[in-house]
Amino acid sequence: LYPSLAFFVSALGVNLFGEGLRRLVKKGLLQLRRLVNRYTLVVLLMCALAFHFGQWETGSMLFYRRLASQFDSGRVMKQIETLTSPAFDERALGSQGMDQAADYIASQFSSCDLQAAGTNYTYFATHERTFESLDETPQLSIGDSAADLRYLRDYTVFAGMYRNVGKIEGEVVFLATGELTETVQGKVPALAGMDFSQDILLLPSPATANALEDLRVPIGGMLVIADDDSALNRRVTLSGQDRSFFLTLISNNAPPPDDYPKLLITKAVADRILASSGNSLRDLSDTAKALEKDEIVVVPTGVSSSMEIKATVHERMPVRDVIGYIPGTLAGEAISKQGLALDNHMIVVMAQYDSPPSSPDGTPFPGANDNASGVGIMLEAIRTMQESDYKPYKTFLFVAYSGEGSEGGNDVRKPDPSQFLRAAAFFSSSYKIEATIRLRGLGAGDGRGLALFSPGNLRLVHLFEDAAQRMGLRAQPVDDAMDMSVVFAGKTARDSGQESPDITLSWQGWERTSRTPSDTVDTISQTKIEKAGRALALALMILGRETNY
Length of the chain counted residue by residue: 549
What phi, psi does 210 have (nearest 5°)? -60, -40
Q: What string of DSSP letters covers 288-312?
A: HHT--TT-EEEEEEEEEEEEEE-EE
Answer with the residue of higher pLDDT: 223 or 253: 223
Domain for residue 49, yes or no?
no
Same domain, 257 and 329: no
User: What is the b/e burial string over 535-549, where b = at least 16 CB atoms within 10 angstroms of the residue's CB?
Assistant: bbbbbbbbbbbeeee
Q: What CA–CA distance (Å, rounded) separates 357 from 261?
A: 18
Domain for residue 17, yes or no?
no
Domain for residue 8, yes or no?
no
Same domain, 364 and 434: yes
Same domain, 152 and 198: yes
Same domain, 225 and 343: no
pLDDT, residue 13, reads: 52
Once rounded to an integer, what is the mean pLDDT over residues 398-426? 90
Domain for residue 34, yes or no?
no
User: Looking at 100-109, 214-223, 295-304, which range is the least confident one?
Assistant: 214-223
Domain end, chosen from 277, 309, 341, is at 309
CATH number assigned to the domain comprising residue 432: 3.40.630.10
Domain end, chosen from 267, 292, 309, is at 309
Is residue 182 predicted with pLDDT exceeding 60?
yes
Domain for residue 340, yes or no?
yes
Closest C-alpha to 238, from 133, 315, 393, 342: 133
Q: For 37-49, what is each residue's pLDDT tens digit?
A: 665 555 556 655 5
Same domain, 64 and 200: no
pLDDT, residue 133, reads: 94
Same domain, 305 and 317: no
Q: How many domains does the chain have?
A: 2
Closest C-alpha to 133, from 219, 237, 263, 53: 237
pLDDT, residue 480, reads: 47
Q: Is the peptide bond before 410 cis (omega within 30 degrees of 0)?
A: no
Same domain, 334 and 385: yes
Q: What CA–CA distance (Å, rounded) separates 203 from 421?
A: 43
Closest C-alpha to 515, from 413, 402, 365: 365
Same domain, 83 and 175: no
Same domain, 412 and 274: no
List residues bridging with 410 in a β-sheet. 407
| Strands 345-352, 406-407: pairing kind | unpaired
Domain for residue 24, yes or no?
no
pLDDT, residue 169, reads: 96
Domain for residue 47, yes or no?
no
Question: Is the CB of residue 508 less than 8 Å from the CB of residue 439?
Answer: no
Domain for residue 256, yes or no?
yes
Once rounded to an integer, what is the mean pLDDT over residues 379-389? 95
Same domain, 156 and 298: yes
Q: Which domain holds residue 197?
A: 137-309
Give pTM, 2 decimals: 0.83
pLDDT, residue 42, reads: 59
Q: Let me know if 160 is exposed, middle or buried by CB neighbors in 10 A (0-12, 13-18, 19+).
A: buried
pLDDT, residue 35, reads: 53
Is residue 277 predicted with pLDDT exceeding 80?
yes
314: three-class secondary structure by DSSP: strand
Question: Is the CB of residue 137 less than 8 Å from the CB of residue 360?
Answer: yes
Same domain, 278 and 143: yes
Confidence bin at 28 (pLDDT 50/70/90): low
Confidence bin at 224 (pLDDT 50/70/90): very high
Is residue 485 predicted with pLDDT exceeding 50?
no
Same domain, 493 and 528: yes
